[in-house]
């Protein structure tokens, strides 16, 4: 029984009994030798979900993103992405520090990316005057963009532009499952658009650890080397992959419940004019610029009443729903949070 209603992130979930049982009975082997049957099965099934040839299990989404980006962008060359993208905000400068990769950003505009703006930023390869653009990264759903979902038509336009310019298109799909559930776009349809993807098992799907890089067989062979270089070669990690396989089997369709809970929170807070944009998935961004409460004051008051809220900036806070906040917990948050704004 959680003492707090923890709405800070969907990373805080505990593995369920069923998931723990799957982990305990997993067959394992040394994955650096390619001998962990549970990891091999997870990689094959995730590749198939997205219609790609291969996938690679990685300890974190950050490592999966950085591997994917390094596959497509050589040192000294360039990746384009949103200014609020996870790859340039929350990965501690890894693209530059580890990959030697230059990044240039648009926005931040979250899921409202305008393909024409991105296309105008592309610099052709050749010559020695300017940094050549090698890849574009999008984020689905968009984390700092309030869980927004990039429309399929936008992604199709970006795909065509990337192909025309000879660029790779990467999707940070940590929460691609949420986009799939809310927009009804098949995972294979998303898969067909991207050269590389990263997908997380440890967010809404509720596994304790794990992400995958999804791409062609040739790219995943390179990814295996890059993962080892970054210290991500794991041994009998099938106990973790078993949690991931369990999560894929049991926890995708139920994300609709988390979206409904987020909608309830957004509805309860709408009268205070603090909900930033339309809530489409499991994230409720709170823009407090016009509120008497700043983000720290809100978080402190909510904590006192048993609700945990994330502070993303002085006047930006965030609520995230997940499988460990049940309806009773949302009832409590829906009571407590408006009271704080009413005071
Ligand atoms: C959580 C997240 C990741 C991966 O984060 P790790 O903590 O490294 O697993 C990547 N992209 C987005 C958009 C995320 O929200």
Q: Do 151 and 213 belong to one domain? A: yes
Q: Do 156 and 219 belong to one domain? A: yes
Nearest atom within ligand 1 for CA of residue 211: 9
Instruction: Calculate mean pLDDT across residues 14-19.
Output: 98
Q: What is the pLDDT of residue 128?
A: 85
Residue 296: CB atoms within 10 Å = 13
- Cα separation, 259 vs 261, in Å, equals 5
Residue 105 has pLDDT above 70, yes or no: yes
Q: Do 243 and 271 belong to one domain? A: no
- Report CA(61)–ligand 1 centroid distance (Å): 5
User: Domain count of the chain?
Assistant: 2
Residue 149: CB atoms within 10 Å = 24
129-163 per-position pLDDT tens digit: 999 999 999 999 999 999 999 999 999 999 999 99
Q: Which residue has the tokens 């890849």?
A: 135
Query: Per the structure block, which two tokens stand in for 158?
Result: 């970006």
Residue 249 near residue 21, CB atoms below 8 Å: no
Q: Do 214 and 145 belong to one domain? A: yes
Q: Do 186 and 282 belong to one domain? A: no
Task: Find the CATH number of the domain harbouring 308.
Answer: 3.90.1150.10
Nearest to 136 by CA among 151, 158, 116, 114: 158
Q: Is residue 6 part of a domain?
A: no
The residue nearest atom 6 of ligand 1, judged by CA position, is: 61
Mutate to test the pocket of ligand 1, among 67, 68, 172, 320 (most ligand atoms within 8 A of CB): 172
Q: Do 128 and 203 belong to one domain? A: yes
Ligand 1 neighbours (beta carbon < 6 A): 60-62, 65, 86, 139, 143, 172, 174, 200, 203, 211
173-208 per-position pLDDT tens digit: 999 999 999 999 999 999 999 999 999 999 999 999
Sequence-separated (6 or more) residues with CB below 8 Å from residue 303? 4, 309
Q: Is residue 11 part of a domain?
A: no
Mutate to test the pocket of ligand 1, among 58, 64, 65, 86 (most ligand atoms within 8 A of CB): 86
Q: Which residue has the tokens 């040739």?
A: 218
Q: Is residue 204 part of a domain?
A: yes
The residue nearest atom 3 of ligand 1, judged by CA position, is: 61
Q: Is residue 8 part of a domain?
A: no
DSSP β-ladder status, 78-82 and 133-139: parallel
Q: Is residue 12 part of a domain?
A: no
162-176 per-position pLDDT tens digit: 999 999 999 999 999
Q: What is the mean pLDDT of the chain?
A: 97
Q: Do 172 and 40 belong to one domain? A: yes
- Cα separation, 68 vs 54, in Å, equals 13
Task: Find the CATH number of the domain harbouring 184.
Answer: 3.40.640.10
Sequence-separated (6 or more) residues with CB below 8 Å from residue 155? 138, 140, 190, 193
Q: String of b and e for 26-52 (b: at least 16 CB within 10 Å)?
A: bebbebeeeebebbbbbbeebbebbeb
Q: Do 84 and 217 belong to one domain? A: yes
Query: CA angle at residue 342 from 338 to 343, to 5 degrees?
Result: 125
Q: Is residue 3 part of a domain?
A: no
Give the confidence band of 1 by pLDDT, cuts at 50, 70, 90.
Answer: very low
Residue 118 has pLDDT above 50, yes or no: yes
**Of the candidates 250, 284, 312, which is a domain's last residue?**
250
Q: Do 236 and 258 belong to one domain? A: no
Q: Is residue 7 part of a domain?
A: no
Dihedral angle sign, alpha carbons of residues 145, 151, 155, 160: negative
Nearest atom within ligand 1 for CA of residue 172: 11
34-93 per-position pLDDT tens digit: 999 999 999 999 999 999 999 999 999 999 999 999 999 999 999 999 999 999 999 999
Q: Do 130 and 100 belong to one domain? A: yes
- Report CA(180)–ligand 1 centroid distance (Å): 17
Sequence-separated (6 or more) residues with CB below 8 Å from residue 185? 152, 179
| Domain interval for residue 263 | 254-342
- Report CA(174)–ligand 1 centroid distance (Å): 6
- Cα separation, 3 vs 23, in Å, equals 26
DSSP β-ladder status, 168-173 and 133-139: parallel
**Of the candidates 201, 230, 250, which is a domain's last residue?**
250
Nearest atom within ligand 1 for CA of residue 85: 13
Give the confidence band of 125 by pLDDT, cuts at 50, 70, 90.
Answer: confident
Nearest atom within ligand 1 for CA of residue 142: 13
Residue 2 has pLDDT above 80, yes or no: no
**Of the candidates 250, 268, 300, which is a domain's last residue?**
250
Q: Do 245 and 207 belong to one domain? A: yes
Report the phi/psi class of residue 92: left, alpha or beta, with left for phi > 0 and alpha for psi in -120 to 50. Answer: left
Q: What is the pLDDT of residue 3?
A: 84
Residue 103 near residue 111, CB atoms below 8 Å: no
Q: Is residue 319 part of a domain?
A: yes
- Cα separation, 213 vs 227, in Å, equals 10
Nearest to 71 by CA among 216, 227, 222: 222
Give φ, ψ of 154 to 5 degrees.
-65, -45
Q: Do 211 and 328 belong to one domain? A: no
Residue 234 near residue 32, CB atoms below 8 Å: yes
What is the percentage of the chain residues whose pLDDT exceeds 90? Answer: 97
The residue nearest atom 14 of ligand 1, judged by CA position, is: 174
């Amino acid at each position: 029984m959680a003492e707090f209603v923890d709405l800070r992130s969907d990373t805080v979930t505990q593995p369920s009994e069923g998931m723990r049982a799957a982990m305990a009975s997993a067959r394992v082997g040394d994955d650096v030798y390619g001998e962990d049957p549970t990891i091999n099965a997870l990689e094959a099934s995730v590749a198939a979900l997205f219609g790609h040839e291969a996938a690679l299990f990685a300890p974190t989404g950050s490592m999966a993103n950085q591997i994917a980006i390094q596959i497509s962008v050589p040192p000294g060359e360039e990746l384009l992405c949103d200014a609020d993208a996870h790859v340039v905000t929350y990965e501690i400068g890894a693209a530059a520090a580890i990959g030697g990769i230059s990044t240039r950003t648009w926005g931040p505009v979250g899921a409202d990316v305008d393909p024409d703006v991105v296309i105008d930023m592309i610099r052709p390869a050749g010559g020695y005057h300017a940094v050549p653009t090698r890849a574009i990264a999008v984020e689905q759903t968009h984390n700092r963009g309030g869980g927004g979902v990039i429309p399929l038509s936008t992604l199709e336009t970006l795909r065509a532009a990337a192909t025309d310019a000879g660029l790779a298109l990467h999707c940070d799909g940590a929460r691609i499952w949420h986009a799939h559930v809310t927009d009804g776009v098949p995972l294979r349809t998303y898969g067909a658009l991207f050269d590389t993807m990263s997908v997380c098992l440890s967010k809404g799907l509720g596994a304790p650890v794990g992400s995958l890089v999804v791409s062609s067989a040739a790219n995943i062979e390179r990814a295996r080397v890059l993962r080892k270089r970054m210290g991500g070669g794991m041994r009998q990690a099938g106990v973790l992959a078993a949690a991931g396989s369990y999560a894929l089997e049991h926890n995708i369709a139920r994300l609709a419940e988390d979206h409904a809970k987020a909608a309830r929170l957004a509805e309860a807070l709408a009268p205070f004019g603090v909900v930033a944009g339309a809530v489409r998935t499991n994230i409720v961004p709170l823009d407090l610029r016009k509120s008497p409460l700043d983000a720290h004051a809100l978080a402190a008051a909510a904590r006192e009443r048993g609700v945990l809220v994330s502070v993303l900036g002085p006047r930006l806070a965030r609520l995230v729903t997940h499988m460990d906040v049940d309806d009773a917990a949302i009832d409590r948050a829906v009571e407590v949070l408006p009271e704080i704004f009413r005071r």
